[in-house]
Structure 1
Amino acid sequence: MMGHSHAVSGAMLYAASAPFLPPLLLHTHLKPADILLGTVLCAGAALLPDLDHHDGTIANFLGPVSKLLCRFVAWISGGHRHATHSLLFVALVGGGTWAGVTYLGRPFTLGMTFFLLALAVKALRLHVPGEGHTTWLSVLGLSAVGTFVLDRWMPAAPGWLPYAVALGALAHLLGDSLTKMGAPWLWPHKQRYEIVLIKRSGNDVETKVLVPIMTVATFALLWFTAVEPAVIS
């Protein structure tokens, strides 16, 4: 799947699950603001498994810095769609985010927020068009402003942030499992799992059917789970 599709799928899964899974898994009910913030950050987290792709959407979101990062991750993970496209990676990024929020505090939370916002801005194409330095500088600027704004609304130690990160990574695996290449969910076991609905990334099924449906579903879910409750209260 394309980066844009992964981001939309992450946003939709978070918006759909926010009223149900956090109370079950985290023993807390999310406020409307937490649902809105988490939806945006989960969209960015849905790009994380592609840290192993030196030429994907994620490789270009922070210019030469992200290019170098992706080449390094590809090297240590065995290449594209290997270690980072597994349940082990989902557990690592979720657990790592929990540890960062718990033990490193606000600096980690804001740094992670900036990183995920940058991914979301790039994947959802909210930046200056193109691939040059003007583009990634606009991603930097928008993400910095967004982090400053979210800092005023985000809890001191958001317990939902690890959940959003893990769910975003899981959404990516689900999306890639709809393609011919599949995903090695049980890595280091090398078998890839797939139910092929998208024969080629970026085809009409993905861009003209799945993405519009997921986009409309996300906004509808946010209206009923976050916007309407906030207006009523």
Structure 2
Amino acid sequence: MMGQSHAISGALVYAATASFLPEKVFGTVPGPSEILVGTLLCAGAALLPDVDHQDATPAHLLGPVSRALCRLVGRLCGGHRHATHSLLFVALTGAGTWAGVTRLGDGFTHALTFVLLFLAGRALHLHPPGHGPTAWLTSVGLAAIGTASVAAWVPGIAAWLPYTVGLGALTHVLGDFLTRRGVPLLWPLRRRFELPLIRRTGGKLETRLFVPVMTVATVAALWWTVFSPLLAVS
């Protein structure tokens, strides 16, 4: 699947489940602002498994530096869609995020928030067209503003950030499970699992059906969980 598809699917899964899954996990229901922020962060987290590809969205974070890092990760993992597209990687992202917010505190939380917002903005094309300096600076600026806003008005983010990151990574893996190449869910076992509903990445089925439907569904879910309660209170 394309980066945009992964980001929208991450946003959709979070928005659609925010009213009941977090309560089962944490014993509390996130408020409207937390759901809105979580939707964007989950959209960004849904790009993390592609850290093994030098041309994917994560490679644009730091230009040549991040591209080289993604190339290195790809080599260490055996290429694209190997170790980082497994249930083990999903578990490690969630556990790593928990360890970071627990041991490193606000610095880690805010840095990861910035990265996820940057990835979401890039994948959802919330910047001028292209990959030049203007597009990059716009993405950085939006991520910085978003991170500062989250730090000021959503103080409890550290409690549910590991859940959000893990959910986004899982959504990505399941999305690629729907394509012809499949994913090695049980890596390091080499067997690939697939349900090839999407036979060509970026094809008409994905771009003209899946992406529009997921976008509308995300907006509907946010309306139900975020804006409808706010309007009811007012």
Counterpart for residue 202 of structure 1: 202
Q: 122-131 or 134-143: which moved more?
A: 134-143
Counterpart for residue 151 of structure 1: 151
Counterpart for residue 222 of structure 1: 222
Instruction: For residues 35-79 of structure 1, give each alpha carbon's deviation from its aligned partner in whole angstroms, at most 9, with x where no partner exists.
Output: 100000000000000000111232224322321221122122221
Letter of the 1:209 partner, please give it.
L
Counterpart for residue 12 of structure 2: 12
* CA distance in structure 1 between the aligned counterparts of 2:220 and 2:126, rounded to whole angstroms: 21
Letter of the 1:56 partner, please give it.
A
Q: 155-164 or 210-219: which moved more?
A: 155-164
Q: Is the 8 A contact 1:62 1:137 kept in 2?
A: no
Letter of the 1:26 partner, please give it.
F
* CA distance in structure 2 between the aligned counterparts of 1:129 and 1:61, rounded to whole angstroms: 16
Query: How many residue pairs align between the two structures?
Result: 233
Instruction: For residues 199-233 of structure 1, give each alpha carbon's deviation from its aligned partner in whole angstroms, at most 9, with x where no partner exists.
Output: 11000100110111100000101111111112323
SS in 1 for 2:69: helix
Q: CA deviation at 1:150?
A: 1.9
Counterpart for residue 113 of structure 1: 113
Q: CA deviation at 1:138?
A: 2.2
* Correspondence list, 1:1-233, <5 A: 1-233=1-233
**What is the percent sequence identity of the aligned residues?**
58
Q: What is the aligned-residue RMSD (CA, Å)?
A: 1.3
Letter of the 2:17 partner, please give it.
S
Q: Is the 8 A contact 1:57 1:122 kept in 2?
A: yes
**Structure 2 spans left out of the alignment, 5+ residues:** none
* CA distance in structure 2 between the aligned counterparts of 1:126 and 1:168, rounded to whole angstroms: 19
**Structure 1 spans left out of the alignment, 5+ residues:** none
Q: CA deviation at 1:114?
A: 0.2
Instruction: For residues 131-161 of structure 1, give each alpha carbon's deviation from its aligned partner in whole angstroms, at most 9, with x where no partner exists.
Output: 2233222222221122112222222453111
* CA distance in structure 2 between the aligned counterparts of 1:62 and 1:205, rounded to whole angstroms: 32
SS in 2 for 1:224: helix
